Amino acid sequence: MSNNDRSGGASAPPEKLLEVRNLRTWFDTDRGLFRAVDGISFDVPRGRSVGLVGESGCGKSVTSLSLMGLVPSPPGQVSADSIMFEGRNLLDLSAHDRRQLRGGRMSMVFQEPMTSLNPVHTIGRQIVEAIRAHSDMSAEQAKKRAIEVLELVKIPSAAQRFDDYPHNMSGGQRQRVMIAMALACEPSLLIADEPTTALDVTIQAQILELLRDLQQRLGMSVLIITHDLGVIAELVDEVVVMYAGKVVEKAPVHALFDDPQHPYTIGLLGSIPRLDVERERLATIEGMVPSPANQPVGCRFAPRCPFADSRCHAEPPPLRELGAGHEVACWRAPVETISSVAIDRRVAA
C-alpha cells in the first residue's frame, strides 16, 4: 500500500484510475422505488487503496456491483454523469466490452467464497477458465499461471491443491482462491467486498495482511468495502463513508481518524472496541438505517443524530470541502469540539 499521503509531505496528486460522478442505482419493487445508491461521487487513485465504509444497507455492495456492471436490469437502473476507468466511460461500453473489462482490468472479490466458487469444479479449473476468458493463453499456459497466483496468495503446495474442490479447503483458503482468481489477469483495480466477513479474527488478519502485501507488490489500486472502520485503519489511504445511499464524509485515513467531522463517522469510530478505554459496554448508534423507499427529507442521518436541528430535518446538506481532501455533508461542520463531545456522549450512553 502506498503511504505517500501518510507521511505528511507535499507531493503531486496521484493519477485517478477510477472516477465516479453522481452514481445512482435504483430498484423498481412492489413496495416502490428503492434508491439504494443516490448520487455519490468518489475517486480511486492509481496505485492507492480506498475504503468504502458504512452499515449494512447503506449501499456499499450495490455500489461495487454497479461499477462492475452486475446489477440486473430490470429491476435495477444504473445511471451516472460518468464512471471513468482508465480514461474510458464505462457507461459508453458495449455489453461485450464490459464483460472483457470485468475480470480482466477490473476484478472483484465477493463476500462469501463458498457461494462464489462452483462446488462441482476444482479450484484450478475455475481459475484457468477465468484466465482463458480474458487472455489468449493456451490451457497449459493458463494452468501454469493459475499455480503462480495460488502461490502468490500463499496457498501451500499450490500445484497439489490445484485439483482440490472448494469443500476440501478452509474458509480462509477459499478466500485466498477468490483473491487468486481476481488477480490472475493482473487487474489495475481490485474491488474487495467485505473480504473478511465470514472468517474468524485470526484469519481476518491474515487476509488483510495478504491484501496489503499484494497491493504493495503489484502496484494495483484497491477498493475495500466494509462496515468495519477498524478493518481499514491500516489498510487504506483514503476513506469514503456512506450512509443511506449517500456519501457523508471523505478524507485521507489519518484525517478521518484524527478529526472525524460527521456525527455518523464519529458514531462508527466510537463503536470500535479499544483496549485503552474502560467501558461497561460498546457504544452504539441508536436507531436504524432508513428504508431506501422512504428516505428522510433533510439529512438522512438526522433522525439518529444527537446534534440535529430543524435545518437538518428540512434541508439535505451538500458535501463540502473542509481542506486537505477532507469533505463532509453536515451543516454543523467544521466544529472542533464535535468529535470529542460526540464520542464522550456515546461512551457514556
Would residue 197 count as lying in a domain? Answer: no
Output 9 or 77, whichever has higher pLDDT.
77
Which among 21, 25, 19 has a CA at the least distance from the CA of 78? Answer: 25
Please say if the pLDDT value at position 324 is more than 90.
no
Please say if the pLDDT value at position 289 is more than 90.
no
Please say if the pLDDT value at position 282 is more than 80.
no
Q: Mapping DSSP to helix (H, G, I), strand (E, B) and coil, where does residue 66 land? A: helix
**Which residue among 147, 167, 186 closes a domain?**
186
Return the bridge partners of 222, or none: 49, 190
pLDDT at residue number 90: 94
Output 73 or 244, whichever has higher pLDDT.
244
pLDDT at residue number 341: 45
* Interatomic CA distance for residues 118 and 112, integer angstroms: 12
Would residue 39 count as lying in a domain? Answer: no
With beta carbons less than 8 A apart as the criterion, state whether 164 and 180 touch.
Answer: no
**Which residue among 145, 171, 186 closes a domain?**
186
Which among 152, 143, 235, 252 has a CA at the least distance from the CA of 195? Answer: 235
pLDDT at residue number 13: 65
Within 10 A of 219 (CB to CB), how many other CB atoms are there?
A: 11
Would residue 246 count as lying in a domain? Answer: no
**CB-based contacts of 86, cutoff 8 Å, min separation 6:** 17, 105, 188
Would residue 280 count as lying in a domain? Answer: yes
pLDDT at residue number 100: 86
pLDDT at residue number 12: 59
Structural domains of the chain, count: 2
**Which residue among 157, 186, 215 closes a domain?**
186
Output 217 or 84, whichever has higher pLDDT.
84
Please say if the pLDDT value at position 296 is more than 70.
yes
Lowest mean pLDDT among 102-106, 108-112, 220-224, 309-313: 108-112
**Distance set, CA 54 to CA 40, 59, 232, 264 (Å):** 14, 8, 12, 9
Each residue of 28-51: pLDDT tens digit? 988 888 999 999 999 999 999 999
For the segment 85-102, the average pLDDT, to the nearest whole number, is: 90
What does pTM read for this prediction? 0.87
pLDDT at residue number 276: 59
Each residue of 180-209: pLDDT tens digit? 999 998 899 999 998 877 678 788 888 888
* Interatomic CA distance for residues 78 and 35, integer angstroms: 10
Lowest mean pLDDT among 3-17, 138-152, 161-175, 318-332: 3-17
pLDDT at residue number 126: 94
Each residue of 224-258: pLDDT tens digit? 998 878 778 878 999 999 999 999 999 999 999 99
Cell of 183: 488477480
Q: Mapping DSSP to helix (H, G, I), strand (E, B) and coil, where does residue 178 land? A: helix
With beta carbons less than 8 A apart as the criterion, state whether 258 and 336 touch.
Answer: no
Would residue 131 count as lying in a domain? Answer: yes
Chain mean pLDDT for the chain? 86
Range(s) of the domain holding residue 332: 260-348
Would residue 291 count as lying in a domain? Answer: yes
Place of cell 485466498: 176
* Interatomic CA distance for residues 45 and 215, integer angstroms: 13
State the Rg of the chain over Cα.
Answer: 21
* Interatomic CA distance for residues 343 and 149, integer angstroms: 44
Cell of 199: 472468517
**Distance set, CA 29 to CA 175, 208, 254, 292 (Å):** 33, 36, 40, 11
Would residue 334 count as lying in a domain? Answer: yes
Cell of 104: 480482466
For the segment 150-170, the average pLDDT, to the nearest whole number, is: 92
Q: Do strands 238-243 and 246-252 pair parallel, antiparallel, or not at all (unpaired)? A: antiparallel
Would residue 215 count as lying in a domain? Answer: no
